[in-house]
Amino acid sequence: MSAVIPIHADAGCTDAPVLAERGQREVFCGLTGIIWLHRKMQDAFFLVVGSRTCAHLIQSAAGVMIFAEPRFATAILDERDLAGLADAQDELDRVVKRLLERRPDIRLLFLVGSCPSEVIKLDLSRAAGRLSERFMPQVRVLNYSGSGIETTFTQGEDACLAALVPVLPVSMQQHEPELLIVGALADVVEDQFARLFTAMGIRRFAFFPSRRSTALPAVGPQTRFLLAQPFLADSARALEGRGACRVSAPFPLGAEGSAAWMQAAGAAMGLQAAEVEQAIAPARKRAEQALTTHREALTGKRIFFFPDSQLEVPLARFLARELGMVLTEVGTPYLHRQHLAVELAWLPAGTALSEGQDVERQLDRCRALRPDIVVCGLGLANPLEAEGFTTKWSIELVFTPIQGFEQAGDLAGLFTRPLTRRTLLAA
């Protein structure tokens, strides 16, 4: 790793070169997104069409949640399905019929493509159209791909939301801007944001995905959408296709990030910066206060990110700017320069960025850098701990509420805890 020379000091990493790698990737596929998406969309069911491996993956990732009669399942392909395609479509109809009889409360069914179904080119979009025709208006059937060959981890959410965009209602009002927050957020975070928007005086705002499929937000040329998550490239494109405009902002992580995100929301809705500032001031102050205790533990500590969720760049920005951490390498599975423009500008100049992965080489770099804390997946975490590294497993950053002011302290705490623990156990 050679240090990157900043081109101009105040542009952060805007033009920084990125190490692009190909090789073995130690990441989840997009099917994993189902685990949090089905919690968010309360009347949706996710049916994966795939192999036993897909079913096994979801159950391994879902842990104990699988027993609470969750709203996802796998239609496992067997030899007979591989023999002829026409047959597979009939089989799928049979499985879906059985499923919907069993779960009459379901209003939205996603047929989720997997690697096997994509490779045999099972036409799930045709199946979704056919089944939708058959079960509408009770159940709408859509499809997207969460396959590993096309999607990495959180990109599954992107694919799912992008599939929903075409069925969003058309917004009838034509004059005033409407704000759409895009990306699944924990309910508690969503509620906090809604309260702040209301305090700012924004009346027309909605969240996408909505909690129920029967109350999908409308979209039109007056829609200004603000991404709450950094991994929504296709969804953003689909929304733009429907005339909506993306509002550029950093992501709402940390006090500073959340404030800037709120400011962007306000500006898009025609508010003055001072109005927004006034509405968010108490929450922002609380967040800054919550961070001070963690700053002591984290300042000067060196952190290394393995790629996982695309949240790495915003997280690194937060940890560097608000907590004084030193970034060694920030890996991301995919770097969307446009959506991350503000984030990149805010990263300390000279940060080593990498996109994609060759896990063995990246481990070599990590070992050579000897960071104080490593953010990585569960496949790497214990082996790295055994080598003497302190790790923070990354999936928790996707499952835990971390966005917004009230969660800023918790987010910092996720990084402080493993370091504290190491100190405690060593003592």
- Residues that bind other proteins in the complex, under the rule CB under 8 A: 23-32, 49, 51-53, 55-57, 59-61, 63-64, 66-67, 70, 72-79, 81-82, 88, 91-92, 94-95, 98-99, 101-102, 115-116, 118-120, 147-150, 152, 360, 377-383, 385-386
Contact 172, 197 (CB under 8 A): no
Tokens of 31: 């099917």
* Comparison of 56 and 203: residue with beta carbon closer to other proteins: 56
Backbone angles phi, psi at 290, to 5 degrees: -60, -30
Which residue lies nearer to other proteins by CB, 134 or 204?
A: 134
- The residue type of 371 is P
For the chain, what percentages of helix, strand and coil (3-state, to nearest 5) are there?
50, 15, 35
Give min distance, CB of 232 to other proteins, in A.
19
DSSP secondary structure code for residue 218 in this structure? P
Angle between helices 124-135 and 85-102 (to 10 degrees): 40
Minimum CB–partner distance for residue 23 and other proteins (Å): 7
List 356's β-bridge partners, or say none: 21
Residue 104 or 137 having the CB closest to other proteins: 104
Question: Pick from 264, 170, 176, 161: which is nearest to 213 by CA?
Answer: 161
Tell me the closest approach of the beta carbon of residue 139 to other proteins, in angstroms: 16
Residue 50 beta carbon to other proteins: minimum distance, rounded to whole angstroms: 8
Peptide bond before 177: cis, by omega within 30 degrees of 0? no
Q: CB-based contacts of 190: which residues, under 8 Å, 6+ apart?
A: 181, 207
Whichever of 187 and 396 has its CB closer to other proteins, that residue is: 396
Closest contact distance (angstroms) between CB of 75 and other proteins is: 5
Residue among 173 and 382 whose Cβ is closer to other proteins? 382
CB of 106 to other proteins, least distance (A): 14
Does residue 271 contact residue 202 with C-beta atoms inside 8 Å? yes
Amino acid letter, 273? A
Q: Which is nearer to other proteins, 73 or 186 (CB)?
A: 73
